[in-house]
Chains A and B, each alone.
Chain A
C-alpha cells in the first residue's frame, strides 16, 4: 500500500473556506467509503474529525465536511478559524485489512 497524496499546504483567511484533497487509487480511496480525516496540532496526537467519508464524530463542528469522487476524497473547512491551523491527514482502507495515511496537509490561517 502507498501513501495517499495530499497537497503540502493550504491557506486561507479567517471566515474563508479551504479544501484539502486526498488522492489514492481504485484499490484504496476509490474502493470504499472507509475514508477518515484527522487534525493534528503541534505536539499533540491526531484527532478524528471525519469518518466514512462524510460523517462527524460527536463534538466536531459541521464546519468540517467531507466528500469523495472517484479516487479522490476531500475535506472542506468552512468559516476558517485560527484554531483550525494545524496538520490534516486523510486515511483510507487499503484492502486486505490494511490501512494507509496521506502525506499530510498544513493548514495556515492568514
Chain B
C-alpha cells in the first residue's frame, strides 16, 4: 500500500523560506515510472500544481514560481523535499504531495496520474 505524508511548519513569516517534507512508503522513489508531485490549494480555491520530481531525478516546476521552488529527493529516506523561498501571505494554502505512476508504450506516456495523495498540510504565512 502506498502512503504519503506531508510534514513541516504550519506557520511561517513573510520573506521566510518554507521547507516541506513528503515521506513516502510503499514504493521506492528510484523505481522506474514513478514520481512525486507537490500541489497546493489556497483556502476556498483551486488546486495548483507546483513541482514534480521523477524517478530519474528530473525536476520540473510551474513557470510562475520556478525561481522560488526547489524539489529534491532523498532516496535513502524515501522522502521528497520542497522548498519555497520568499514566502508571502498569498502562499497561504494546504500543500499536498502525491505519487505519480506511469509507463511508456511505443514512445508515449500511459496511465500517468496523481494517486494517492497525502493528507495535506495547511501552511499559513503571517507575521
Contact = CB atoms under 8 A, between A and B. Distances in A.
A97 B56 CA distance: 12
Interface stretch (A9-17, A19-27, A74-82, A101-109): A101-109
Contact of B108 (A32, A89, A96, A101): A32
| Secondary structure type dominating chain B contacts | strand
B93 to A, nearest CB: 13
B123 to A, nearest CB: 15
Interface residues of B, number: 28
Interface in B55-93: 58, 60-63
Interface string A79-94: 0000000000101010
Contact of B49 (A51, A57, A99): A99
A52 B111 contact: yes
Contacts of A33: 110
A32 B102 CA distance: 14
A109 B86 CA distance: 42
A89 B39 CA distance: 12
Interface of B: 37, 39, 46-49, 52, 54, 58, 60-63, 96, 98, 108-120
